[in-house]
Structure 1
Amino acid sequence: MSRAAWACALGAILLWALFATLVRLAGDAPPLLLTGVALCCGGLASIHRWREWRVPAAILGFGIASLFLYHACLVAAFRLAPIAEANLLNYLWPLLIVVLARRAVPLRRSQLAGCVIAFAGGALVIAPSAPTVTHLAGYALAVLAAFTWAVYSLAPARLPAYSSWATGGFCLGAGLLALAAHALFETPYRPSGTELAGMAAIGIGPLGLSFVLWDRAMRTGRAAKIGSLSYLTPVLSTLALAVTGAVAAGSWWRLGPALLLVAAGVRLAR
């Protein structure tokens, strides 16, 4: 796989590793409002390439629906369940990418073993907990988000070619859809300047530039290998949460071994 594909995938992963932390720092904004503002900012970040947003209606609809469903479910999961646990469940999507890609790209035993080892590293990041009904709803939304992202990530290889910058149009469309849903289903909320700044940061980075990088990586690289590399994300994301005080001090001892397992698994899966 080319260096460009690896670089794009790693860039997207580093941006996504900040997503949960930025959501936590964005305050108490309702999930659909946060999703809408962030996605609109993500779309506007690539407005200078708006001519490349032109895609067939079916692809546009698929992109908008996928990004709306993924982010609405994930932000809601962060609100309903402990953020570290929901974050890990969301990162089942690399495993789902590897599994769903098997028909197109058969995997060697070493690649499958690498996926298992890397996921075991991700699992070490959090401690078991006794979930409430509300937590279970959040976990279910996190799993739905993971499946949505895996399908969206594999779609470019099966769809007619379109520019990676078209993801800006997907973001803007999904953001407007989320804002409309907020107006219909959520209590009106006036965010503070700090909350708006946090939403804008989410939009420009994890929900903006990251999509362009990820789309290019999935087009030019091997989906199974990139999916395996993505196991770095839950560890880096949980490390960011720990640094900002969202993870209990007793969880720190798991981060070192988890990083070693993830690194070993990614290396084996390559």
Structure 2
Amino acid sequence: MKAVTDKAVAASNKATLIGGLALVIWPALALLATLAGPIPPFLLTGLAFAVSAIIGIIWWLAKGNGLGRLLNRPFKDWAIGIAGLFGYHLLLFIALQNAPPVEANLLNYLWPLLIVLFSSFLPGERPYWYHWAGAALGLAGTAMLVAGPGLAPKLEYLPGYLAGIGCAVCWAGYSVASRRWCAAVPTEFVIALCGGTAALALLMHLAFEPAYTISLREGLVLLAIGLGPLGAAFFFWDVGIKRGNIRALGAVSYTTPLFSTLLLILFGKGEATAAAGLAAILIVGGAILATRELWSRR
């Protein structure tokens, strides 16, 4: 029995480490999205996901597999996956284009805290006081960002703020729902989800956005997004949230906003203000408190 348990723990730890690779790649997403320029959000989402889908399909076919095997999944799997991938990234790009990038990015990174909270409601789990206290600190940091200096709301950025909060809720919900209802779905299905998300986003672009010509520089940025943050990172994350320690991944995720925000500042896409720094401390501090059970174990 002990051998079986040790083997299961080793498999879970390996999956958690694989999931952690996504957290090494994701800090570049906000910077790349801002470097992409004024590309309409639906078009940006669709083209970036198309890159990852095309590369994934080529790899899948090269292994001798058919597309039917990849696409033949229940509606539930499609619904959770498309809602998560399409909804989150569309809201993220809207946030980055309608609010200061540093503030939008920090609001977006409430999702690690929400993953810890949402995962507490999985079967066999329940939230404790430190989960709720951590959530309160995260919300305090969010209020600090939205209110700005002197608690004066910056109403001109409200759409971007709301989109940033929305994408945090969307990604946390997708991650926990995948663990709860899609644990048996093979990771290769992410290829199909990327393709479905790309198709939906491009259709929305044709219906609601003006025509836009992609420059060579913007095309290279889109390629980088599709290869990394919207490509390989998703496959790593899928393994981690389905077969690894989802709370541990949530805890490690709290380092990602710091590196992501630092990249924005280093590349001149944001300003290191005292308000943003205090908000970061509150959000990350709340995250650490919410994962008390992980770091307090012997």
| TMscore range, shorter length | 0.7 to 0.9
Quote the Cα distance in structure 2 between the aligned partners of 1:252 and 1:144.
21
Shift of 1:85: 0.7
Quote the Cα distance in structure 1 between the aligned partners of 2:137 and 2:52.
30
Task: Establish whether residue 103 from structure 1 lines up as the match of residue 121 from structure 2.
Answer: yes
The alignment yields a C-alpha RMSD, in angstroms, of 3.1
Shift of 1:62: 2.8
Instruction: In structure 2, list runs of 5 or more residues that go unmatched.
Output: 1-8
Q: Could you tell me which of 142, 154, 159 is aligned with 2:164?
A: 142
Task: Establish whether residue 32 from structure 1 lines up as the match of residue 42 from structure 2.
Answer: yes
What residue number does 1:19 align with?
Answer: 29
Shift of 1:173: 0.8
What residue number does 1:153 align with?
Answer: 175
Q: Is the 8 A contact 1:89 1:139 kept in 2?
A: yes
Higher CA-based Rg: 2
- Give the partner amino acid of 1:71: H
What residue number does 1:75 align with?
Answer: 93
Matches within 5 A, 1:180-219: 180-219=203-242
Q: Is the 8 A contact 2:48 2:198 kept in 1?
A: yes
2:186 match: secondary structure: coil
- Give the partner amino acid of 2:96: F
Quick one: structure 1 residues 159 and 263, their matched pair in 2 at CA, closer, same or farther if it must change by over 3 Å?
closer
Q: Is the 8 A contact 2:95 2:160 kept in 1?
A: yes
What residue number does 1:10 align with?
Answer: 20
1:70 match: secondary structure: helix
Q: Is the 8 A contact 1:95 1:227 kept in 2?
A: yes
Quote the Cα distance in structure 1 between the aligned partners of 2:15 and 2:38.
37
Instruction: Please give the per-residue CA displacement for 1:185-215, whole angstroms capped at 9, x wherever unaligned.
Output: 1111001011011011111111111111111
Instruction: Please give the per-residue CA displacement for 1:238-266, whole angstroms capped at 9, x wherever unaligned.
Output: 011111111225569949x9599599659
- Give the partner amino acid of 1:106: R
Percent of aligned pairs with the same amino acid:
35
Output the TM-score relative to the length of structure 1. Answer: 0.85
Quote the Cα distance in structure 1 between the aligned partners of 2:254 and 2:244.
16
What residue number does 2:70 align with?
Answer: 53
Quick one: structure 1 residues 95 and 18, their matched pair in 2 at CA, closer, same or farther if it must change by over 3 Å?
same
2:257 match: secondary structure: helix
Instruction: In structure 1, list runs of 5 or more residues that go unmatched.
Output: none
Quick one: structure 1 residues 134 and 32, their matched pair in 2 at CA, closer, same or farther if it must change by over 3 Å?
farther
Task: Establish whether residue 226 from structure 1 lines up as the match of residue 249 from structure 2.
Answer: yes
Worse-matched range after superposition: 156-165 or 173-182 = 156-165
Q: Is the 8 A contact 1:118 1:264 kept in 2?
A: no
Paired residues, what number? 268
Shift of 1:183: 1.0
Q: Is the 8 A contact 2:264 2:270 kept in 1?
A: yes
Q: Could you tell me which of 164, 174, 177 is aligned with 2:197?
A: 174
Quote the Cα distance in structure 1 between the aligned partners of 2:276 and 2:157.
25
